[in-house]
Chains A and B, each alone.
Chain A
Amino acid sequence: MANIRELKAEEVYRRCDPAQFPFQTTEELDELQGIIGQPRAVAAIRFGIGIDSEGYNIFALGASGTGKHSIMRQFLEDRAAREPTPPDWCYVNNFAQPHRPRALRLPPGMGVQLRRDMERLVEEVRTVLSAAFESDDYRTRRQVIEEEFKERQEKAFESLRQRARERGLALIRTPVGLVFAPLRDGEVMQPDEFQKLPEEERKRIEQDVEVLQKELQDVVQQIPRWEREMREKIRELDHEVANFAVGHLIEEVREKYKQLPDVIAYLNDVQQDILEHVRDFLAPAEQPTSPSPAESTPRSPAGSPSLRRYQVNVLVDHSKSNGAPVIYEDNPTYQNLIGRVEHIAQMGALVTDFNLIKPGALHRANGGYLILDARKVLMQPYAWEGLKRVLRSHQIRIESLGEMLSLVSTVSLEPEPIPIDVKVALIGDRLLYYLLSELDPDFGELFKVAADFNEIIDRNADNEMLYAQLIGTLARKDGLRPFDRTAVARVIEYSSRLAEDAEKLSTRMQSICDLLHEANYWAGENGHEAVTAADVQQAIDAQVYRVDRVRERIQEEILRGTILIDTDGERIGQINGLSVIQLGNFSFGRPSRITARVRMGKGEVINIEREVELSGPIHSKGVLIMASFLGSRYVADRPLSLSASLVFEQSYSGVEGDSASSAELYALISAIAQVPIKQSLAVTGSVNQHGQIQAIGGVNEKIEGFFDACKARGLTGEQGVLIPTSNVKHLMLRSDVVEAIAAGQFHIYPVDTVDQGIEILTGIPAGKRDETGQYPEGTVNYLVEKRLAELAERRKEESESAREEEE
Chain B
Amino acid sequence: MNHILKIENLHVSVGDKPILRGVNLTIKHGETHALMGPNGSGKSTLGLAIMGHPGYTVTEGSITLDGEDVLAMAPDERARTGIFMAFQRPMAIPGVKMADFLRHATTNVRNPDRKEGEELIPMREFRKELKEKMAHLRMDVEFARRYVNDGFSGGEMKRAEILQLAMLQPKFAVLDETDSGLDADAVRLASESIADIGREKMGLLIITHHDKLLVHNPPEFTHVMLGGRLVETGGKELAVELHEHGYDRIRKSYPEAEAANQEMLAEETAV
Q: Say if A and B assemble together.
A: no
Measured CB to CB, the residues of B under 8 A from A are none
Measured CB to CB, the residues of A under 8 A from B are none
